Amino acid sequence: MHQLHYTSCEDGLEGIQGFQISALTPGAPKQLVDLAVRASAYEVGPQLANADESDLGAFPVAFGYARTGGSAVLFQTRYTGADFTGRTGNYFAHALLLGEADRELGRALPIDMWRGSVWVHSRQRGTDLPPVDALTPGSATSPADIRRFLSAPGGAGGLARVISAVQRVLTDGRGRVVLVVPDDRTAALWLAALCRSFPRALGVAISFVTYTSRPEDAGVLVSCTTPDVLLPSYGDFTVVDPLETGAEETTRYATMMAALWSRSDVQSAIMAADRLTSPLSAGELEAFAVLIECAEDIPPGRDVPEALLLDAVALAVERMPGTLPADGWQRLAGRLRAVGGPADLRRWANHLDAADRRREPVSADLLGTYYLAALTAPEQLWLPRLDPAQLDQVVAEAVLPAMTDPKSKTVLDRMAGQDEFRAATLRVLSARLTDPRQIIPLCTSLTPHAGQLLRRIGGRGRVALLADVVLAREGKEDRVSVLDKALDDHEVDWRRLGAVLWPAEVSQAEAERALSSLHPDVLVGTGLLSRIVARTLDQAARGQLGPGDAGLVDELLAPDLVGSMRAEEATMLETAKFLSLLQHASPKDDAELPVSEGLRLLPSLPAASAQNLLGALAEYVLRADTRTHHNLLETTLRETGGRFLETYGERASARLVKADPNYVASVIVVWWSVSDQRVRRRLVNETLVAAVARRKPKHLDRIGELLKSTAVRSRLDVAAPKGSWSKWWREWRSAHEANRGLLNLLGLRRQR
């Protein structure tokens, strides 16, 4: 290798006084000499322009590498202060000229020559320099040094940003990168980490310099400069401060290499790439990163697009066979599932066919995912030949998951047409269901279509039970019958089937069948009893229990079931039954029996239920004939006092607003017959006033006409007030209709 020295002197090879080549290996090619002179030029940055030059070690060293075709120059430039004339700004550059750079570098990278023993720092005697036979790397940028450097806070993230910027330039074939660093040593370590993070063919293609105050003029890919230097304001430059988090997303390859540095696994990945007979291009690095992520179990960080996964598979099969172990293929299958499965089936067919022929350990998961997708394709695609063990694995890892996906209906239908898959599905499910604990998770996850498929392919035993439960859960089979059938398998946890078969409310018809056909232990153990009780009580609270529901309540109140309830539930059921009967019964001669039963229940009920019962009692009393009405009202008032009176008054007022005059007259007679004068006054002078306040005069006239005959027919032996019903009614109207005029309509009360 030729070498040269360049500095400001008065006895150099060019015979001038000033900057010139001061010494050179004879025969050095002019093209490389010119490149070395241009690349090694040095100018002090703003921060050091007025610095004390007594300590020249404070000035950064410009160590660089520039290429032209297959040739290159390595150089080291140091600032030397004043030249022979006393003028400052002198520097000394030592350059090595590599005619065949890749061969002459050997196994070393250009950055390895940082602080190497080959470099001299000042002029030697004479103008002829000997050739250099071998390059001895320095010791300041070893992998151990790089790992220590990157272990500092921000190191891994900074490296990912640097690699990403350079990778994009290498891929696009244009642009340059400016690295902002505090000093030349830091620059060398970033460059060493960068170059060692690429396959060798790309690493030696990265030209660089550790320091320049004019990055826009440096003819290298990566220019390092210090924060005081003015950055390029035009041109295709990417400026990176490694320790300043950037907004631009890092490449997958850069993220992966940063992770490998933290795990000390970089060398194995680079060696895998370097084994290729044709080197990786920059455009293939993202696909290579996917392979290494899968092989080394590195989390991807973000989903891998299908096209990139296909590029990775092509790379693994065609150029890097054996790179992916079996678990690596399994991880690749997981990444494919994460993006929705295979869509470009033709490419998958070609690559997986090639992988099969090369005996790559492709996972059954990946083959199964492809297989199921290929079954849905309109064209005839390659299908892998699977032995029974592989088929079973495909079913376990691909078919069963498809049975949980409502979108896989077509896939399952086509799979059902394949004899080998039907048999494998039954084998796998039967084996899995030998553990009875598996039936509950499976039947809650399989789709109804999967249940129909299992029935169609002839599943027996627990497979048949699984299909029944799946379909019954969706209302496509009788749930009660399926639960009863499940009891035949003593290992199945039938207690959990209550919640499984009835994910929503138990219907009325199902509740009746369950109560009539299932053993009380089953009703209690599955939780059905408590759910039926809760449903019945809810219906009762909303007044939705009809006369036909009494039988259901009777069954719930059977001795063998009541013992499994809370005492308050049993009481509430009795109340519900009573309410249902009370709401639809007509008071007869034995009318006091329901009232007595209601009054018996009343003290044990919570407030809301008690109020419902009082309302039902009030409605029941109001439906009775005049004499029965009187008797029931007296009894109820005697037992409950004002508590019943409040509810009764509200219900009576609501009825009388639009009631027939005959009914209104009968109620007035009943109220006038009440033995408690305080209650009588309240009903006649408050409740009645509110009830008839908006009735037309002709209606009120008719009510008055009916009072006498109604009292006679009632056989209540009630005397007419003030000696005459007609007289009393006129006075009552006179007293209360005075408030019915305009003032009353306006919501005002006339002062008396």
- On the CB side of 520, how many CA atoms lie within 13 Å of its CA? 11
pLDDT recorded at residue 347: 96
Whole-prediction pTM:
0.62
Tell me how far apart the 2 most distant CA atoms of the chain are, in Å: 154
pLDDT recorded at residue 13: 92
Point out the least confidently predicted range of 44-48, 256-260, 332-336, 350-354: 44-48
pLDDT above 80: residue 307: yes
Residues 30-43 have a mean pLDDT of 96
pLDDT recorded at residue 689: 92
The beta strands (E) that lie in 50-184 are given as: 62-68, 71-81, 90-98, 176-180
Q: Exposed, middle or buried, 558 (CB in 10 Å: 0-12/13-18/19+)?
A: exposed
> Rg of the chain's alpha carbons, rounded to an integer?
48
pLDDT above 90: residue 507: no
Phi and psi torsions of 90, nearest 5°: -80, 155
pLDDT above 50: residue 536: yes
Point out the least confidently predicted range of 263-272, 312-321, 414-423: 414-423
Task: Classify 93 as helix, strand or coil.
Answer: strand
Phi and psi torsions of 107, nearest 5°: -90, -5
pLDDT recorded at residue 312: 96
Task: List pLDDT tens digits, range 115-144.
Answer: 999 999 998 888 999 999 989 999 899 999
Residues 693-711 have a mean pLDDT of 90
Q: What percent of the chain has pLDDT over 90?
A: 52
Helix (H) or strand (E) holding 240: strand 237-240
pLDDT above 60: residue 748: no
Q: How far apart are alpha carbons 633 and 136 in whole angstroms?
A: 117
Amino acid found at 565:
M
pLDDT recorded at residue 750: 39
Q: Exposed, middle or buried, 450 (CB in 10 Å: 0-12/13-18/19+)?
A: buried
pLDDT recorded at residue 589: 61
Per the prediction, the chain carries an average pLDDT of: 88
Task: Classify 179 as helix, strand or coil.
Answer: strand
pLDDT above 70: residue 265: yes
In three-state form (DSSP H/G/I as H, E/B as E, the rest C), the secondary structure along 61-81 is: CEEEEEEECCEEEEEEEEEEE
Phi and psi torsions of 79, nearest 5°: -75, 135
Q: How far apart are alpha carbons 267 and 273 in whole angstroms?
A: 10
pLDDT above 80: residue 584: no
Residues 465-480 have a mean pLDDT of 92
Q: How far apart are alpha carbons 683 and 703 in whole angstroms?
A: 16
Task: List pLDDT tens digits, range 344-364.
Answer: 999 999 999 999 999 999 998
- Give how far Cα 129 sits from Cα of 73, 94, 123, 138, Å: 16, 11, 11, 22
Point out the least confidently predicted range of 202-216, 320-334, 634-648, 700-714: 634-648
Q: What percent of the chain has pLDDT over 70?
A: 96
With DSSP H G I counted as helix, E B as strand and the rest as coil, what are the percentages for the chain, rounded to 5? 55, 10, 35
Task: List pLDDT tens digits, range 435-463.
Answer: 988 888 998 899 999 899 888 888 789 99
pLDDT recorded at residue 97: 98
Residue 741: band (very low, low, confident or very high) from pLDDT cuts 50, 70, 90 = low
Residue 742: band (very low, low, confident or very high) from pLDDT cuts 50, 70, 90 = very low
pLDDT above 90: residue 160: yes
pLDDT recorded at residue 752: 32
pLDDT recorded at residue 743: 40
Residue 401 tokens read as 């998951």
